[in-house]
Amino acid sequence: MKTISPRIVIICPVRDEEKYLQKFLDSIVNQTVKPVELVVVDDGSTDKTPGIIQEAHRKHPWIHGITRSNRGERAVGPGVVEAFYDGYAAIESEEYDFVGKFDGDLILDPKYFETLVNKFEEDAALGAASGKLFLQLENGELIAERHSDEMVVGGTQFYRRECYEAMGGYVRQVMWDGIAYHRCRMNGWRTKSFHDPELKIREQRAMGASQKSIYHGRIRWGWGQYFMGTHPLYILVVGCYRMFERPFIVGGLLIVCGYIKGCIQRARRYEYPGFRESLHAWQFERLKLGKRLETLPPAPSPSQETIR
């Protein structure tokens, strides 16, 4: 059964995004299915970001912003989640069907929400989903980011409301997105990123980059994998896999180094009953060495032409 009017709420944490934010907002305003509410959380910007948010609200009242105090620097991981929760608390809509957390440096195709909602309507077990991520260079060239089809892109987290509420929201730590979509799977929901022409996500900054450098970002990525509970064998495979993308070789090595850093420091890890056991089983299935613990109903047959 088709949803007559899908009610979508989006929360967008931003900081110093004057270079990118207007293009993101334009891509939201131009959607064939618009959100009923877009909450833009200004996380202490020192540039023209607040003015862009105010002007968007003036033109489109369903877009509104809230302001957080300036902590002095961009804080990825837990900082982004804290900003998200401030936006979540500021949601004015009492009734909505889908909730999403989106970055402010993205550009979405006009039918993104329409197409994604159709995927949910076709699959009752689909709890969280996104399109595929492409880095958009200044010359307009698109470079595909590589990730699993069961990974929901961190910058465009989009949930069926009951799935988001059942998985308990986000952990205030690096790798919050990976933890979230695995918690969804543990609760019997399917997570998916779709190859679909209407679901291309154009990113204006490289995924996994840091406010300091992409090298620092890769170390943080590996440390986050340690926090999440990733198996050592799996992180070695991830490190090798990521050697074949920018920054070549060193990027993959730094991911492994970040993981080893967590081991040496004996940093605390994410603790949730059964989570690590379930994660390791899923990872070993990915490596063709085992089978996941959860059983989901079969996915429906693809209804859209895949991206070549």
pLDDT per position as a tens digit, 178-206: 999 999 999 999 999 999 999 999 998 76
Q: How confident is the model at residue 306 (pLDDT cuts 50, 70, 90)?
A: very low
For residue range 106-122, what is the model confidence (pLDDT) as tens digits? 999 999 999 999 999 99
**Helix %, strand %, coil % of the chain (to 5):** 40, 20, 45
Per-residue confidence (pLDDT) for residue 62, from 0 to 100: 98
Whether 291 has a pLDDT exceeding 50, the answer reads yes
Q: How confident is the model at residue 142 (pLDDT cuts 50, 70, 90)?
A: confident
Tokens of 14: 């931003």
Per-residue confidence (pLDDT) for residue 307, from 0 to 100: 36
Q: How confident is the model at residue 175 (pLDDT cuts 50, 70, 90)?
A: very high
Q: With pLDDT > 90 as the criterion, what percentage of the chain qualifies? A: 80
Q: What is the number of residues in the chain? A: 308
Per-residue confidence (pLDDT) for residue 4, from 0 to 100: 57
Mean pLDDT taken over the chain: 92
Checking 298-306 for CB contacts under 8 A at 24+ apart, the result is 299/123, 299/125, 299/190, 299/192, 300/122, 300/123, 303/118, 303/122, 304/115, 304/194, 304/196, 304/197, 304/198, 305/196, 305/197, 306/195, 306/196
For residue range 124-141, what is the model confidence (pLDDT) as tens digits? 999 999 999 998 887 878
Per-residue confidence (pLDDT) for residue 203, from 0 to 100: 92
CB 238 within 8 A of CB 208: no
Per-residue confidence (pLDDT) for residue 303, from 0 to 100: 54
pTM for the predicted model, two decimal places: 0.90
Whether 210 has a pLDDT exceeding 50, the answer reads no
Distance between CA 92 and CA 215 in Å, rounded? 39
Per-residue confidence (pLDDT) for residue 71, from 0 to 100: 73
Per-residue confidence (pLDDT) for residue 127, from 0 to 100: 98
Say which residue, 308 or 167, is predicted with more confidence.
167
pLDDT-wise least confident of 3-7, 79-83, 89-93, 144-148? 3-7
CA torsion sign for 145, 148, 153, 154 is negative
The candidate with the shortest Cα–Cα distance to 111, out of 26, 202, 199, is 199
Say which residue, 189 or 71, is predicted with more confidence.
189
The candidate with the shortest Cα–Cα distance to 252, out of 202, 286, 285, 217, is 217
Distance between CA 110 and CA 34 in Å, rounded? 10
CB 228 within 8 A of CB 175: yes
Give the count of alpha carbons within 13 A of 132, CB side only. Answer: 17
Distance between CA 105 and CA 93 in Å, rounded? 25
Per-residue confidence (pLDDT) for residue 113, from 0 to 100: 98
Say which residue, 138 or 292, is predicted with more confidence.
292
